[in-house]
Amino acid sequence: MDNVSLFFSIFNLNGRSFVLDQSMIFATVPLIYLTFLLVFVLAIKGGIREKKAFLLTVLALPLAVLLIKTIHLFFFEPRPFVSFNFVPIVMESANSASFPSRHATIAGVLAFAFIYSKSSWSLLFLPIAVWIGISRIYVGVHYPLDILGGFVVAITSLALAILTKKFLGKVFLRI
How many domains is the chain partitioned into structurally?
1
Domain containing 23: what range? 3-173
Judge contact between 133 and 147, C-beta under 8 A.
Answer: yes
Query: Which pLDDT score is estimated for 29?
Result: 86
Query: Which pLDDT score is estimated for 174?
Result: 66
Query: Which pLDDT score is estimated for 175?
Result: 55
- Could you tell me the pTM of the whole model? 0.92
Query: Which pLDDT score is estimated for 167?
Result: 87
Question: What are the residue ranges in the chain where pLDDT is below 70?
Answer: 174-175
Q: Is the dihedral of CA 46, 47, 48, 52 positive or negative?
A: negative
64, with CB counted inside 10 A (0-12, 13-18, 19+), is: buried
The CATH number covering residue 148 comes to: 1.20.144.10
